[in-house]
Amino acid sequence: MDFLADFFIRFLVQFQSPTLGFLIGGMLIAALGSKLKIPNPIYQFVVFMLLMKIGLNGGIEIREANLFAMALPAFFSILIGLAIVRVGIAIFGLLPGVNSADGFATAGLFGAVSASTLAVAIVMLEEEAIAFEAWAPALYPFMDIPALILAIVMANIHMKKEENGGGEVDVNVWGIVKESLRGSALSALLLGLALGLFTNSGSVLESFYEPLFRGFLSILMLIMGMEAYDRIKELRSVAHWYAIYAGFAPLLHGLIAFGLGYIAHLLVGFSPGGVIILSVIASSNSDISGPPTLRAGIPSANPSSYIGASTSVGTPVAIAVAIPLFIALAQIVFDI
């Protein structure tokens, strides 16, 4: 009972979070017929600012990480990110009535990582006095960025195929990959990543991109809410599929990561605390880096689907179910 109550409280708290609040606010004013508009150049700038920050952050995390020690867990993180997206797209492809662009975006969002879920896990590990490698949290960009890129590239390939008749027509896959990477979303993300990796951009990140991030995110959420209102009826017949996926996927993804983390434990001595962190990173679904990237990278996807699935079900499950589950599992498996 305690567990259910805890889950329910976290579920309600999510609705008070400013991120979801601005999204619902946007839907509300659209429903009330408000004439408020965020001009398009501002929207483009907001997305640029958000993606540049995500990229810079990832690049600096990787730059500062101990790449040699973390090589195998980092490789596994990439694999998990790609697998989550691949499997998610396959699942949504089987569900009747689900729009394919929405399925690609939702799979991408569940492959991406939530910084706040990760932060909760770190706090809980410290409370339980379970040690982990200092670089373990820096595994997240290795899962986050490949997952987002794969989702966008696969969505573009799919759309190109549909345009060409929908069948197994020959499409120039490498051409589409290049085209996706040149799109404004991924090129801002990768440019940020490169600048974070190769220049001393920590100061400009800390003084500009980082402090403006949450505010610009609130504006993006408002824009996405206004747009989501117009499209929410598209989801009426399929909303249950998103809820079921969002309820189970975090646990499935975490279990895959736990298994690979266990292998890394045996091969290179990856700590039990590190295995838990890897599992939580895989369970988490991005409420931060995902939406701006996917909104710009798969513009035809309905934000109501992927953000709804993630913030209203996926994140409460990751925090309230997955974190305690993987801590308990580690305590049994590693006898800590």
Residues that bind a copy of itself (CB under 8 A): 15-18, 20-22, 25, 28-29, 32-42, 44-45, 48, 182-184, 187-188, 191, 194-195, 198-201, 203-204, 207-209, 211-212, 214-216, 218, 222
Nearer CB in complex with a copy of itself: 211/259: 211
One-letter amino acid of 333: V
Contact indicator for 125, 276 with CB cutoff of 8 Å: yes
Residue 251 neighbours by CB under 8 Å, 6+ apart: 283, 317, 321, 322, 325
**Rounded to whole angstroms, how far apart are CA atoms 130 and 69?**
19
Nearer CB in complex with a copy of itself: 20/275: 20
How far apart are CB 41 and a copy of itself at their closest, in Å? 3
**Rounded to whole angstroms, how far apart are CA atoms 236 and 96?**
13
Element (H, E) at 17: none
Nearer CB in complex with a copy of itself: 229/326: 229
Nearer CB in complex with a copy of itself: 106/114: 114
Residue 133 neighbours by CB under 8 Å, 6+ apart: 69, 70, 270, 271, 273, 274
How far apart are CB 270 and a copy of itself at their closest, in Å? 32
How far apart are CB 74 and a copy of itself at their closest, in Å? 24
How far apart are CB 183 and a copy of itself at their closest, in Å? 6
How far apart are CB 201 and a copy of itself at their closest, in Å? 5
| CA torsion angle 210 215 221 222 (round to 10) | -160
Nearer CB in complex with a copy of itself: 55/137: 55
How far apart are CB 203 and a copy of itself at their closest, in Å? 7
Query: What are the φ and ψ backbone dihedral angles of 74, each rounded to 5 degrees?
Result: -65, -40
How far apart are CB 15 and a copy of itself at their closest, in Å? 8
Q: Maximum distance among all alpha carbons in the chain?
A: 60
Nearer CB in complex with a copy of itself: 83/221: 221
Would you state the structure tokens that stand for residue 128, as one six-digit string? 């339980």
How far apart are CB 34 and a copy of itself at their closest, in Å? 4
One-letter amino acid of 246: A
Q: What's 65's DSSP letter?
A: S
Q: Which of 145, 134, 143 lies closest to 65 in space, CA to CA?
A: 134
The total number of residues written for the chain in this structure: 336
How far apart are CB 204 and a copy of itself at their closest, in Å? 5
SS3 316: helix
Nearer CB in complex with a copy of itself: 193/281: 193
Q: Is the dihedral of CA 181, 184, 189, 192 positive or negative?
A: positive
**Rounded to whole angstroms, how far apart are CA atoms 92 and 241?**
8
